[in-house]
Amino acid sequence: MAYDVNGTAGVVSDLPAASPDEVKGQMTRLLDQFVDDTPGVTDALLLSRDGMQQVRCSHMEADWADELAAAFAGMAGLAGGVSGPMRAKLPPQQVLVERDDAIFLVTGAGVGRAFNKSGGSVATVLVVLACSDANIGTIGYATGRLVTRFAPFMTTPVRARDGQSDGAA
């Protein structure tokens, strides 16, 4: 997923780009709000496809988030390596793990350049943890909406080059 932050593809903006730390802070607030507002959800974590924690809800322990990031990146990778009925290997839309003590919902969350200072793209995965008796339909719907809310943070706004004000070359 790639998103145009300003809604005008190709238009150069003179808005300053948000720093990776500012983006992570704003996304942490989105995760916290999601956990608070979605019945049954206890934690949420955004990770890179290679298993590095990117953003977690503020009450989640860093060590546990690192452990989950590594495990669920592997699970998302395995799910993408399974051939479907048409013999195609496609990325999974969602992976659901149901245990006696929790439900884990894993979904792709887009590709962004806002997570590292070098500007390289990072493919992300969102992991949502919920109580074992939570309504998975409600959580799945709310998770999809959360991924949509991430869109403005997944790309860095385009900045005007020196000497350009209107985007013309």
Q: Give the model's pLDDT for residue 2.
A: 38
Reported pTM? 0.78
Two tokens, residue 80: 């993408």
pLDDT block averages, 10 residues each, the chain of length 169 = 38 53 88 97 94 93 96 90 88 90 93 69 91 96 92 57 44
Q: Give the model's pLDDT for residue 9.
A: 40
Q: Give the model's pLDDT for residue 15.
A: 43
HEC sequence for 63-105: HHHHHHHHHHHHHHHHHHCCECCCCCECCCCEEEEECCCCEEE
Classify domain 20-81+92-153 by CATH architecture. 2-Layer Sandwich (3.30)
Domain range list for the chain: 20-81+92-153
